[in-house]
C-alpha cells in the first residue's frame, strides 16, 4: 500500500494512454519519486539521447507518502535528461498537483515520443486521455491553468503546465503547477515543450490507502508535533520564509554578488525577509501579504506578495496588481544580488513573470548577471542587447529581460540560453558561474567550503538542494561545523546527499529535515508501506539513488573533469567579509569524497560499490 502500484504510460507520438503495474521490485529498492523515476529512465532511455529528442522521456513521479496525511506529503518530481545540462534532471515541486496525481491512482506518468500538434493530458481517476491544446499554445501558465479549469467546468482540477518559455525552448523552462509552484531547475519544462505537451490536468478522489492505518495516524501525528515544537519549522519558516537567509548569508560573506565578482551585497537589507515585512513608503503596505502552505504542509514557508501599484512594472497592468507567489530566498538572490538590483518591487515582478511564463528564476537571474558582466566589460553592447543598457543594478534591464525571456523574444532569447551557452557564444566561457551547465544558487562556496563540493558533485549540475551543507556550516543543524575549513566536508556532503535522496524519493518536503531526522521519517514510511523501512534501509536507498544517477551521467559523457568549479571560485579570492582572501578548496575535498563514496580516483563507482548497493 501507499504506492498506487499503477503507472500511466503516455505515448505522445501514437496518442495512447495505457495503465501498467508499477515494478514493485524496483519500488522496494528505489522507494519512489526521484529514485524510482530515475530507475525507469535509466532502464528505458539511452543516456546519450538528445534531451529534446522524442527519444528522451519525461516522468512525473510521486512518492509513496504523496497524498497521505503525513506533513508536507504533496510532493512530486519531474525526472528526465535535462535540457540545460544534458545530465540527469530531477526537479521537485510542491503545491497540490502531486497529491491530485496520487489520488487519481498513479505513482508515475511516463511521457514518451512527441505529439504531432500541441496536446494536454487530462486525467480523472485512472481514466486518461490526450486532448487538443491548440487553444492554450502560446498562453502563459496562468492563462492555461484558468483556461483548462474553465473548459472542464471544474475549479478543483489541478494543473501542471509550461508557459511560453517552455514552448520557445528557453533552456531552463520550468513545469509550473498551481500557478506558482514549480519543478524549476535543469530545463524539465523545455523537455515538456519539445514534446508538444502543454499541460497535465488531473482530478483525483480515490484516496491513498496505507499499510497500518492506526500506526500511521499515530506516527504522523507525533512527527507533526516535532515540526510544530521546533523553532525553525514551527516559527521561523512560517513567519519569515526562506528569505530570512538574505541577511545571514550576506553577513557571513557568502552572498554571491554581481556574477560572483563580490561576496557581499550592499543592497541585501532592501530585499530581505525583514524588508518584505516592512510597510512600503509609497502605499504603506508590506510586500508580504501572508504565508502559504502546500498540500498537507504544517510548516507553511511559502510567500504571497504584491508589487506596489505605482511601480513602473505594473501601472495599468491589472493582471500583475494581485497577490501572487512571492520571493523565496533563491529567487530573491538570483534576481537581486546576482544582478546588483535591490528594488524589491522589481524583483517581485520578475518573479511573477518567472511563474507566469514558466522559467527558473535562479538560472535566469544568474544568466542576466553574467550578461551584465559581458556588457560592462564591453564584450557586448546595446547592439546585441537590442538597446537595453545592461548595467549591474539596473532594475529596468532586469524586468525588461524577464518579459523578453518569458516570450523568447529579442535579447531574451539569448538570456534563455543560460549563462554557459551565452558566455561561450561571446567567447568568455569563464564568466559563466555554473557547473555542468547549471547556474549556481545563492551561496558562494569561497565562504562556505562544503557547498563547493556540493556544487561540483551534484548530479544535476550546480544545486543547493542535493546536499544543503549550509544547514550545518552556517545554521548549525544538525551540528555546527566551520564553513571555512575543508576537513570533514567530504563525509558531510555524502551524508547530506544520501539523506536528501531519501526525502526526495518519499513524497515529503526536504524542509522537514530542519526539524526531522530520518528517525522521524522512517516510521512514517514503514507504517504506510510494506518492506520493513528502517533508517539503515533508507540510507542504503539514498546511496543507491545517488550512484544510479552518477552512473547515468558517466554514461551520458560526463567525467571527473566536470566535477569542478569556475576559475573565479577556485582562483579569485573573496574580497570582503569573514572569507576575505579565501578561494574554494575543492582540490582538497574531491579525492576524499571519491574515496568515501567508494569510487575510483577518477570518480567512477567501483564494481564493489555497485554490487554492494545492487545498482
What is the contact surface with another protein in residues (CB under 8 A)?
230-233, 235-237, 239-245, 247-248, 251-253, 269, 273-274, 328-330, 464-465, 468, 470-471, 474-477, 480, 482, 510-511, 514, 577-578
Q: How many CA atoms lie within 13 A of 256 on its CB side?
A: 32
Question: Based on CB atoms, which residue is closest to another protein, 238 or 412?
Answer: 238
Backbone angles phi, psi at 431, to 5 degrees: -85, -5
Least distance in Å: CB of 32 to another protein? 22
Angle between helical axes of 489-504 and 518-528 (0-180°, round to 10)? 30
Least distance in Å: CB of 239 to another protein? 7
Question: Based on CB atoms, which residue is closest to another protein, 170 or 275?
Answer: 275
Q: What does the alpha-carbon distance between residue 171 and residue 362 come to, in Å, rounded to a whole number?
A: 12
Task: Single out the residue of 520, 65, 77, 533 nearest to residue 297, CA to CA.
Answer: 65
Residue bearing cell 518530481:
77
Least distance in Å: CB of 12 to another protein? 34
Cα 118 to the center of its chain, rounded Å: 25
Residue bearing cell 507567489:
325
Least distance in Å: CB of 254 to another protein? 9
Q: What 3-state class would DSSP assign to 332?
A: helix
- DSSP for 134-197 reads TTTTT--HHHHHHHHHHHTT-TT-EEEE--HHHHHT-TTB-EEETTTEEE-STTHHHHHHHTTE
Question: Based on CB atoms, which residue is closest to another protein, 282 or 427?
Answer: 282
**Which residues, at least 6 apart from 50, have a Cβ–Cβ distance to it below 8 Å?**
56
Least distance in Å: CB of 577 to another protein? 5
Question: Based on CB atoms, which residue is closest to another protein, 470 or 548?
Answer: 470
Q: What does the alpha-carbon distance between residue 330 and residue 249 come to, in Å, rounded to a whole number?
A: 12
Question: Based on CB atoms, which residue is closest to another protein, 24 or 231?
Answer: 231
Cα 434 to the center of its chain, rounded Å: 15
Helix (H), strand (E) at residue 433 = none
Query: Please, are residues 108 and 4 in contact by the beta-carbon 8 Å criterion?
Result: no
Task: Single out the residue of 326, 319, 371 nearest to residue 348, CA to CA.
Answer: 326
Least distance in Å: CB of 443 to another protein? 10
Question: Based on CB atoms, which residue is closest to another protein, 152 or 239?
Answer: 239
Cα 393 to the center of its chain, rounded Å: 26
Question: Based on CB atoms, which residue is closest to another protein, 239 or 537?
Answer: 239
Question: Based on CB atoms, which residue is closest to another protein, 10 or 245?
Answer: 245
- DSSP for 5-49 reads -EEEEEETTTTEEEEEE--HHHHHHH-SHHHHHHHHHHHHS-TTS
Query: Please, are residues 17 and 104 in contact by the beta-carbon 8 Å criterion?
Result: no
Question: Based on CB atoms, which residue is closest to another protein, 194 or 506?
Answer: 506
Question: Based on CB atoms, which residue is closest to another protein, 328 or 400?
Answer: 328
Query: Please, are residues 185 and 363 in contact by the beta-carbon 8 Å criterion?
Result: yes
Least distance in Å: CB of 89 to another protein? 19
Least distance in Å: CB of 433 to another protein? 19
Query: SS3 helix, strand, coil % of the chain, rounded to 5?
Result: 45, 15, 45
Question: Based on CB atoms, which residue is closest to another protein, 272 or 313?
Answer: 272
Q: What does the alpha-carbon distance between residue 222 and residue 214 come to, in Å, rounded to a whole number?
A: 13
Least distance in Å: CB of 329 to another protein? 5
Query: Please, are residues 295 and 99 in contact by the beta-carbon 8 Å criterion?
Result: yes
Least distance in Å: CB of 131 to another protein? 37
What's the full length of the chain, in residues?
615
Q: What is the SS3 assignment for 289-340?
A: EEEECCCCCCCCCEEEECCCCCCCCCCCCHHHCCCEECCCHHHHHHHHHCCC
Question: Based on CB atoms, which residue is closest to another protein, 13 or 576?
Answer: 576
Q: What 3-state class would DSSP assign to 226?
A: helix
Q: What does the alpha-carbon distance between residue 269 and residue 472 come to, in Å, rounded to a whole number?
A: 24
Least distance in Å: CB of 232 to another protein? 5
Question: Based on CB atoms, which residue is closest to another protein, 147 or 441?
Answer: 441
Least distance in Å: CB of 551 to another protein? 27
Least distance in Å: CB of 448 to another protein? 12
Amino acid at each position: 500500500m501507499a504506492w498506487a502500484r499503477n503507472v500511466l504510460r503516455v505515448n505522445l507520438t501514437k496518442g495512447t494512454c495505457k495503465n501498467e503495474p508499477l515494478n514493485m521490485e524496483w519500488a522496494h529498492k528505489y522507494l519512489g519519486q526521484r529514485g524510482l523515476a530515475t530507475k525507469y529512465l535509466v532502464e528505458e532511455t539511452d543516456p546519450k539521447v538528445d534531451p529534446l529528442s522524442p527519444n528522451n522521456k519525461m516522468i512525473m513521479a510521486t512518492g509513496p507518502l504523496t497524498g497521505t496525511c503525513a506533513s508536507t506529503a504533496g510532493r512530486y518530481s519531474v525526472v528526465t535528461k535535462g535540457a540545460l545540462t544534458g545530465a540527469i534532471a530531477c526537479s521537485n515541486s510542491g503545491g497540490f498537483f502531486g497529491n491530485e496525481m496520487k489520488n487519481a491512482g498513479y505513482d508515475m506518468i511516463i511521457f514518451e515520443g512527441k505529439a504531432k500538434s500541441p496536446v494536454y493530458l487530462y486525467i480523472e481517476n485512472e481514466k486518461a486521455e490526450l486532448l487538443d491544446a491548440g487553444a492554450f499554445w502560446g498562453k502563459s501558465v496562468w492563462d492555461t491553468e484558468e483556461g483548462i479549469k474553465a473548459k472542464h467546468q471544474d475549479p478543483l482540477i489541478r494543473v501542471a503546465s509550461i508557459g511560453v518559455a517552455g514552448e520557445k525552448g528557453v533552456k531552463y523552462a520550468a513545469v509550473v503547477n498551481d500557478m506558482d509552484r514549480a519543478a524549476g531547475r535543469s530545463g524539465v519544462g523545455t523537455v515538456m515543450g519539445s514534446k508538444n505537451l502543454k499541460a497535465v490536468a488531473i482530478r483525483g478522489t480515490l484516496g491513498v490507502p496505507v499499510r497500518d492505518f492506526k500506526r500511521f495516524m499515530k506516527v504522523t501525528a507525533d512527527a507533526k508535533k516535532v515540526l510544530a515544537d521546533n523553532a525553525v519549522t514551527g516559527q521561523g519558516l512560517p513567519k519569515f520564509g526562506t528569505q530570512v537567509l538574505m541577511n545571514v548569508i550576506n553577513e557571513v560573506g557568502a552572498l554571491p554578488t554581481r556574477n560572483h565578482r563580490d561576496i557581499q551585497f550592499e543592497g541585501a537589507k532592501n530585499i530581505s525577509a525583514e524588508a518584505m515585512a516592512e510597510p512600503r513608503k509609497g502605499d504603506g503596505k508590506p510586500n508580504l501579504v501572508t504565508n502559504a502552505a502546500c498540500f498537507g504542509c504544517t510548516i507553511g514557508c511559502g510567500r504571497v506578495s504584491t508589487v506596489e501599484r505605482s511601480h513602473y512594472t505594473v501601472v495599468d497592468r491589472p493582471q500583475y496588481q494581485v497577490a501572487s507567489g512571492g520571493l523565496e530566498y533563491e529567487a530573491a538572490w538570483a534576481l537581486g544580488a546576482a544582478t546588483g538590483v535591490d528594488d524589491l518591487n522589481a524583483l517581485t515582478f520578475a518573479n511573477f513573470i518567472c511563474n507566469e511564463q514558466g522559467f527558473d528564476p535562479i538560472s535566469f537571474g544568474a544568466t542576466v548577471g553574467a550578461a551584465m558582466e559581458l556588457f560592462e566589460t564591453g564584450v557586448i553592447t546595446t547592439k546585441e542587447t537590442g538597446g537595453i543598457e545592461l548595467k549591474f543594478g539596473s532594475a529596468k534591464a532586469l524586468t525588461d529581460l524577464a518579459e523578453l525571456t518569458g516570450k523568447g523574444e529579442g535579447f531574451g532569447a539569448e538570456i534563455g540560453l543560460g549563462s554557459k551557452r551565452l558566455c561561450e557564444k561571446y567567447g568568455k566561457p569563464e564568466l559563466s558561474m555554473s557547473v555542468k551547465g547549471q547556474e549556481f544558487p545563492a551561496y558562494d562556496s569561497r565562504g562556505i567550503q562544503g557547498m563547493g563540493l556540493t556544487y561540483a558533485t551534484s548530479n544535476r549540475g550546480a544545486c543547493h538542494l542535493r546536499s544543503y551543507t549550509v544547514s550545518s556550516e552556517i545554521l548549525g543543524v544538525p551540528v555546527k561545523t566551520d564553513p571555512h575549513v575543508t576537513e570533514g566536508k567530504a563525509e558531510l556532503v555524502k551524508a547530506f546527499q544520501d539523506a536528501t535522496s531519501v526525502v526526495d524519493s518519499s513524497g515529503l518536503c526536504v524542509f522537514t529535515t530542519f526539524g526531522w531526522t530520518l528517525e522521524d521519517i522512517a516510521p512514517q514510511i514503514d507504517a504506510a508501506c510494506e518492506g520493513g523501512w528502517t533508517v539503515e534501509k533508507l540510507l542504503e536507498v539514498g546511496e543507491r539513488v545517488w550512484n544510479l544517477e552518477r552512473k547515468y551521467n558517466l554514461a551520458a559523457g560526463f567525467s571527473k573533469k566536470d566535477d569542478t568549479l569556475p576559475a573565479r571560485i577556485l582562483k579569485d579570492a573573496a574580497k570582503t567579509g569573514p572569507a576575505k582572501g579565501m578561494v574554494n578548496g575543492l582540490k582538497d575535498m574531491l579525492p576524499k569524497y571519491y574515496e568515501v563514496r567508494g569510487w575510483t580516483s577518477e570518480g567512477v563507482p567501483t564494481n564493489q560499490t555497485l554490487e554492494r548497493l545492487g545498482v
